[in-house]
Amino acid sequence: MTETRADLLAMLPDELAEYFRSIGEPAFRGKQVFSAYHQRGLTISEMTTLPRALRERLAETVEERMPTVSRKLVSAIDGTAKYLLRLSDGHLIECVLMRYEHGTTLCISSQVGCAMGCRFCASTIGGRVRNLFASELVGQLLAVSRDSGERIDGVVMMGIGEPLDNYKEVLRFLRLVNHADGLCIGYRHISLSTCGIVPRIYELAKEGLPITLSISLHASSDERRSAIMPINRRYGIDELLTACVAYFKETGRRISFEYTLIAGENDGEAEAEALAALLRRYFCNREPIHVNLIRVNEVKESGYRRPSREAASRFCQTLCRLGVNATVRRRLGADVNAACGQLRRTAERGELPNV
């Protein structure tokens, strides 16, 4: 039987202190290692504040899951950087570093692949390979911050994978990145996007973490949503929106809805009106929701087409006219394959572009 090795990067300071005590070392090493990992992005072998003998001992006994940068593609248009990161077992994941006026945000992956099967999404084509560990979730921020030399102010969990299908590790990750002795990223600067695993939305509401919940809605009828998102056959729109209302009541946090516009499928006037009517049934005033409209990124396998900018802004205007806050998401990193899942697939086929 193989013994599980301690994953120090996934431990909170108290747990690290306990770990060092258990191996006969002073507890203050816990705080030292926590800040060396989370504030400086170092690996154990680089932590010269630790005695060499201890570093060597740790190198032989612990699991180190810090991802490494495999490729980095920087957009010539807007400076968005797409990272392909290699995990310690060789799997590849993606993150996207985006610069906004209010700070730098990293879009991270939550799983290798995805089991959810959404028809328009590249990340799910090969299914779910495995969940990411909390250390690999936070490690994405550390690796990218170290490579770019930039502080990361916010996180969106909108990369590869379904975060609520990896609940335990995601929760631990949230506590790690928020910790004052670590990256100290405020919960309000963290968004979690889900295709709608309803029981986990209720669970998350009870955790008392004021993060932003983003719901991938993409359709306003069960028939249409089930056709593009298999999860809807399990938890329909009514159950999903009821959970969203409960989340808002519990946390006071505005809910954000993602709606991917697909030409000729869901981008017409009638669909905009139906979407507004649906949302207004659950949320009666303007305040607590926001709809993000995204023109679909074309994925070869799905055959869906991207609507025009004009069609998207017409859709947006209809929503706003009917009392629903909405904006069309600006497209960042268009030249670096920044849409989720596409770079990993290209890399696995050995066809990486030279940007």
Which of 17-25, 44-52, 118-126, 129-137 is the region at the interface with ligand SAH (rule: CB under 6 A)? 118-126
Interacting positions 133-172 with ligand SAH (CB under 6 A): 158, 162
Token look-up 């329909």 returns 236
Should residue 75 be labelled a site residue for ligand SAH when binding is judged by CB under 6 A? no
Cβ proximity to ligand SAH, 334 vs 355, nearer residue: 334
Minimum CB distance to ligand SAH, residue 186 (Å): 21
Minimum CB distance to ligand SAH, residue 27 (Å): 38
Should residue 255 be labelled a site residue for ligand SAH when binding is judged by CB under 6 A? no
Choose, by CB under 6 A, the member of 80, 105, 140, 194 that binds ligand SAH. 194
Cβ proximity to ligand SAH, 121 vs 332, nearer residue: 121
Which of 15-23, 88-96, 191-199, 309-317 is the region at the interface with ligand SAH (rule: CB under 6 A)? 191-199
Contact 214, 191 (CB under 8 A): yes
The single residue of 46, 340, 348, 351 carrying the catalytic annotation is 340
The single residue of 94, 162, 169, 265 carrying the catalytic annotation is 94
Cβ proximity to ligand SAH, 37 vs 194, nearer residue: 194
Separation in Å, CA 128 to CA 8, 116, 168, 247, 260: 25, 8, 17, 27, 22
Site string for ligand SAH, 267-296 (x = CB under 6 A): ---------------------------x-x
Choose, by CB under 6 A, the member of 94, 136, 169, 258 that binds ligand SAH. 258
Cβ proximity to ligand SAH, 183 vs 296, nearer residue: 296
Interacting positions 310-349 with ligand SAH (CB under 6 A): 339-340
Choose, by CB under 6 A, the member of 135, 148, 256, 297 that binds ligand SAH. 297
Please confirm, yes or no, whether 169 is among the known catalytic residues. Answer: no
Cβ proximity to ligand SAH, 67 vs 159, nearer residue: 159
Could you tell me how many residues of this chain bind ligand SAH (CB under 6 A)? Answer: 17
Residues with Cβ within 8 Å of 320's Cβ and at least 6 positions away in sequence, in order, are: 326
3-state per-residue secondary structure call for the chain: CCCCCCCHHHCCHHHHHHHHHHCCCCCHHHHHHHHHHHCCCCCHHHCCCCCHHHHHHHHHHCCCCCCEEEEEEECCCCCCEEEEEECCCCCEEEEEEEEECCEEEEECCCEEECCCCCCCCCCCCCCEEEECCHHHHHHHHHHHHHHHCCCCCEEEECCCCCHHHHHHHHHHHHHHHHCCCCCCCCHHHEEEEECCCHHHHHHHHHCCCCCEEEEECCCCCHHHHHHHCCHHHHCCHHHHHHHHHHHHHHHCCCEEEEEEECCCCCCCHHHHHHHHHHHHHHCCCCCCEEEEEEECCCCCCCCCCCCCHHHHHHHHHHHHHCCCCEEECCCCCHHHCCCCCHHHHHHHCCCCCCC
Choose, by CB under 6 A, the member of 10, 81, 93, 121 that binds ligand SAH. 121
Token look-up 């692949």 returns 113
Report the distance separating Cα 3 and Cα 26, nearest Å.
Answer: 24
Cβ proximity to ligand SAH, 195 vs 204, nearer residue: 195
Should residue 198 be labelled a site residue for ligand SAH when binding is judged by CB under 6 A? no
Please confirm, yes or no, whether 340 is among the known catalytic residues. Answer: yes
Which residues belong to the active site? 94, 340
Site residues, ligand SAH (CB under 6 A)? 118, 120-121, 158, 162, 193-195, 216, 258, 260, 294, 296-297, 299, 339-340
